[in-house]
Amino acid sequence: MSKLTPLYDRVLVKRFEVQEKTASGIYIPDSAKEKPSEGEVLAVGSGKVSDSGNTVAPTVKVGDRVLFSKYAGTEVSFGDDELVIMREDDIFGILSK
Average pLDDT over residues 39-55: 90
86 band by pLDDT with thresholds 50, 70 and 90: very high
pLDDT of 62 > 90? The answer is yes
* Model pLDDT, residue 1: 43
Q: Answer whether residue 49 shows pLDDT above 90.
A: no
Cβ–Cβ under 8 Å, residues 63 and 39: no
Please state, in angstroms and rounded to a whole number, the distance separating the CA atoms of residues 59 and 46: 11
Judge contact between 58 and 27, C-beta under 8 A. Answer: no
CA 36 to chain centre: 10
Of the candidate ranges 15-19, 33-37, 71-75, the one whose mean pLDDT is the lowest: 33-37
Dist. CA 13–CA 80, nearest whole Å: 14
CA–CA separation, 58 and 11 (whole Å): 9
